[in-house]
């Protein structure tokens, strides 16, 4: 994993560790309260010096724990220094408590105190709250502090050393084998904690890398599908235009030449932005204008195309090659079958944060077949437009196509997409050219 990718997951990893540190602080507070309660309960039967030790060691660490909650509970993330200091302070106060027991009473009391087990509790929490490096430092500190504590109590406390653990238990002394075994267990527990922390880090980083690769793959797949849909539109348009040229060759060769010239200009203009999935409305209207010029040569006065653009929508970004297939669908399925021709009306409006595009015609309409969602005339043009909008906008769009209604006639396509500012206003000349 590269440094940039590693930096991308580290803040998220630190955030989860910060949450775990909060939970651990709550658990520390509960454990300390239980220890304090037990110490108070047995205070009458304990030596006064041991009671003072409990008071002097447990109260400050409990205050530290409560202060953390009071100061940082409203913050989204704990300071980094605090997550580093907590495990080191935990290890140190355990050592101080055990050492104080041995100094104020007997060394045997300190070395045999069950508080030794608290080291393992600290190490067990490291994989979910610390980095691998901090876990290694904490594990090393446990071993070093307890080793130093054992040596100090044995030397200063005048401990009677026993040859074996059995003799130590009978005589009340201390066995070096027991103390070495404790250090070995601490070292093993520390090693396991370090390995568990490193393994968890690698697992999370690997999962993040796999998710990132999967997202990139899905993005590339979506782009490939969009490109495939767009490429299907061009042959469909060319097929219909070539049919127009073929028909004109036998009746009006000069007009056929003008159609070829307009087709060449249209293709040059549209291919200029072929790699873009969304374009400024200005470019899309220019493509539409070129296409309408070709169709008006074919239909002459039988075809009228009207365009109404809301000035507030003039800077919108729209899917490339969007309007031409819709107008072509209206001409091919609605206007062409009528002897008297008809009108296609294109309206682009701004509605709050959306752009609404309506393409209507007063042609023969569309008969509903096999249910309301399958309409006669929804071929490559409408089908691919529907699919492209779904890929580009997901649920953040609307696409309706169907007959305009009883007594009205014709066909209507309604599209609503989010408004995105292209920064390019549509010149009046382009609007006038289409109308």
For 68, 146, 172, 319, 359, the CA distances from 428, given in Å and listed in that order, are: 65, 84, 102, 21, 20
Q: Six-digit token pair at 311?
A: 């000035």
Q: Mark whether 202 and 349 lie in a shared domain.
A: no
Mean pLDDT value across the chain:
81
How many Å apart are CA 35 and CA 270, to the nearest integer? 78
Instruction: Quickly list H helices, 112-252.
Output: 118-129, 132-156, 165-171, 176-249
Q: Give the pLDDT of residue 298.
A: 75
Given a cut of 50, whether residue 20 has pLDDT beyond it is: yes
How many Å apart are CA 88 and CA 94, to the nearest integer? 10
Q: Is residue 226 part of a domain?
A: no
Task: Spell out the residues 6+ positions from residue 149 whose beta carbon is closer than 8 angstroms to its own.
Answer: 95, 98, 99, 102, 110
Given a contact cutoff of 8 angstroms between Cβ atoms, the answer to whether 363 and 333 are in contact is yes
Q: Mark whether 60 and 204 lie in a shared domain.
A: yes
Q: Is residue 161 part of a domain?
A: yes
| Higher-pLDDT residue of 167, 283 | 283
Instruction: Give the tens place of pLDDT for each residue, 351-392.
Output: 989 999 999 998 887 643 333 444 444 555 687 788 888 888
Query: Which of these three, 164, 191, 215, is where a domain ends?
Result: 215
| Higher-pLDDT residue of 276, 295 | 295
Given a contact cutoff of 8 angstroms between Cβ atoms, the answer to whether 360 and 404 are in contact is yes
The H or E element spanning position 348 is strand 342-351
Q: Mark whether 141 and 286 lie in a shared domain.
A: no
The H or E element spanning position 309 is strand 303-309
Q: Give the pLDDT of residue 317.
A: 92
Instruction: Give the tens place of pLDDT for each residue, 205-249.
Output: 888 777 877 777 566 555 655 554 454 445 656 776 787 788 778
SS3 415: strand
Number of Cβ atoms within 10 Å of the Cβ of 402: 16
Q: Mark whether 163 and 67 lie in a shared domain.
A: yes
Given a cut of 90, whether residue 404 has pLDDT beyond it is: no
Q: Is residue 398 part of a domain?
A: yes
Given a cut of 50, whether residue 80 has pLDDT beyond it is: yes
Q: Mark whether 205 and 344 lie in a shared domain.
A: no
Q: Give the pLDDT of residue 373.
A: 40
Q: Mark whether 279 and 210 lie in a shared domain.
A: no
Start-to-end Cα distance in the chain: 56
Q: What percent of the chain has pLDDT over 90?
A: 23
For 26, 208, 266, the CA distances from 247, given in Å and listed in that order, are: 84, 59, 20
Query: Which of these three, 189, 215, 241, is where a domain ends?
Result: 215
Q: Mark whether 207 and 280 lie in a shared domain.
A: no
Q: Mark whether 427 and 357 lie in a shared domain.
A: yes
Q: Six-digit token pair at 337?
A: 């079958």
Given a contact cutoff of 8 angstroms between Cβ atoms, the answer to whether 346 and 317 are in contact is no
Q: Mark whether 186 and 265 lie in a shared domain.
A: no
Instruction: Give the tens place of pLDDT for each residue, 98-137.
Output: 888 888 887 888 888 888 899 999 999 888 888 899 999 9
Q: Six-digit token pair at 239?
A: 């097929």
Query: Which of these three, 215, 244, 260, is where a domain ends?
Result: 215
Site of tokens 């609307």 = 398
Given a cut of 80, whether residue 281 has pLDDT beyond it is: yes
Strand blocks (E) in 352-422: 354-361, 398-403, 411-418
For 40, 61, 138, the CA distances from 26, given in Å and listed in that order, are: 21, 13, 20
The domain total for the chain is 2
Q: Give the pLDDT of residue 115.
A: 87
Bridge partners of residue 278, in order along the sequence: 319
How many Å apart are CA 285 and CA 64, to the nearest integer? 69
Domain span including residue 257: 252-434
Query: What's the whole-number mean pLDDT along residues 326-333?
Result: 86
Q: Is residue 278 part of a domain?
A: yes
Given a contact cutoff of 8 angstroms between Cβ atoms, the answer to whether 61 and 93 are in contact is yes
Q: Give the pLDDT of residue 429.
A: 56
Given a contact cutoff of 8 angstroms between Cβ atoms, the answer to whether 156 and 141 are in contact is no
How many Å apart are CA 281 and CA 189, to the nearest integer? 66
Q: Is residue 229 part of a domain?
A: no
| CATH number (domain holding residue 413) | 3.30.565.10
For 279, 431, 432, the CA distances from 426, given in Å and listed in that order, are: 12, 8, 11
Q: Mark whether 196 and 48 lie in a shared domain.
A: yes
How many Å apart are CA 319 and CA 392, to the nearest integer? 8
Q: Mark whether 39 and 143 lie in a shared domain.
A: yes
Q: Give the pLDDT of residue 375.
A: 40
Query: What's the whole-number mean pLDDT along residues 69-77?
Result: 83
Q: Is residue 179 part of a domain?
A: yes
> What does residue 343 show for φ and ψ, rounded to 5 degrees?
-125, 140
Q: 370 exposed, middle or buried (CB, 10 Å; 0-12, 13-18, 19+)?
A: exposed
How many Å apart are CA 414 and CA 347, to the nearest integer? 10
Number of Cβ atoms within 10 Å of the Cβ of 143: 19
Given a contact cutoff of 8 angstroms between Cβ atoms, the answer to whether 434 and 305 are in contact is yes
Instruction: Give the tens place of pLDDT for each residue, 291-317.
Output: 888 888 777 788 999 999 998 988 899
Q: Is residue 224 part of a domain?
A: no
Q: Mark whether 42 and 99 lie in a shared domain.
A: yes
Q: Is residue 222 part of a domain?
A: no
Query: What's the whole-number mean pLDDT along residues 11-33?
Result: 84
Given a contact cutoff of 8 angstroms between Cβ atoms, the answer to whether 145 and 87 are in contact is no
Given a contact cutoff of 8 angstroms between Cβ atoms, the answer to whether 21 and 78 are in contact is yes
Q: Six-digit token pair at 143?
A: 């071993």
């Amino acid at each position: 994993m590269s440094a940039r990718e590693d930096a991308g997951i580290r803040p998220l990893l630190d955030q989860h560790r910060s949450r775990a540190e909060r939970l651990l602080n709550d658990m520390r507070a509960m454990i300390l309260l239980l220890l304090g309660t037990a110490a108070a309960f047995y205070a009458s039967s304990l030596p006064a010096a041991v009671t003072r030790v409990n008071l002097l060691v447990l109260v400050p660490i409990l205050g530290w724990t409560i202060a953390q909650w009071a100061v940082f509970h409203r913050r989204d993330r704990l300071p980094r220094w605090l997550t580093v200091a907590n495990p080191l302070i935990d290890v140190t106060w355990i050592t101080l408590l055990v050492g104080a027991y041995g100094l104020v009473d007997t060394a045997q009391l300190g070395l045999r105190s069950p508080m030794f087990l608290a080291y393992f509790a600290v190490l067990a929490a490291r994989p979910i709250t610390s980095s691998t490096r901090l876990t290694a430092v904490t594990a090393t500190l446990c071993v070093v502090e307890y080793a130093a504590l054992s040596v100090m109590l044995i030397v200063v406390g005048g401990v009677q050393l026993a040859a074996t653990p059995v003799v130590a238990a009978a005589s009340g002394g201390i066995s070096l084998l027991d103390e070495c075994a404790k250090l070995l267990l601490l070292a093993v527990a520390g090693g396991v904690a370090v390995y568990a922390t490193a393994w968890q880090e690698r697992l999370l980083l690997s999962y993040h890398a796999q998710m990132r690769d999967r997202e990139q793959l899905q993005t590339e797949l979506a782009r490939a599908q969009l490109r495939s849909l767009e490429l299907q539109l061009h042959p469909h348009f060319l097929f219909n235009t070539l049919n127009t040229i073929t028909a004109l060759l036998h009746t009006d060769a000069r007009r056929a030449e003008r159609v070829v010239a307009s087709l060449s200009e249209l293709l040059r203009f549209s291919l200029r932005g072929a790699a873009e999935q969304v374009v400024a409305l200005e470019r899309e209207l220019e493509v539409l204008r070129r296409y309408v010029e070709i169709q008006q040569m074919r239909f002459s006065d039988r075809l009228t195309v009207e365009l109404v653009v809301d000035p507030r929508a003039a800077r919108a970004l729209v899917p490339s090659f969007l309007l031409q297939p819709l107008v072509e669908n209206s001409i091919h399925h609605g206007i062409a079958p009528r002897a008297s021709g008809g009108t296609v009306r294109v309206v682009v409006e701004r509605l709050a944060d959306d752009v609404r595009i309506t393409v209507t015609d007063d042609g023969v309409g569309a008969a509903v077949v096999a249910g309301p969602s399958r309409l006669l005339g929804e071929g490559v043009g409408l089908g691919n437009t529907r699919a492209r909008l779904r890929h580009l906008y997901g649920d953040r769009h609307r696409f309706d196509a169907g007959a305009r209604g009883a007594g009205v006639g014709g066909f209507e396509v309604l599209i609503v997409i989010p408004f995105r500012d292209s920064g390019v206003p549509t010149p009046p000349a382009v609007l006038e050219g289409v109308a």
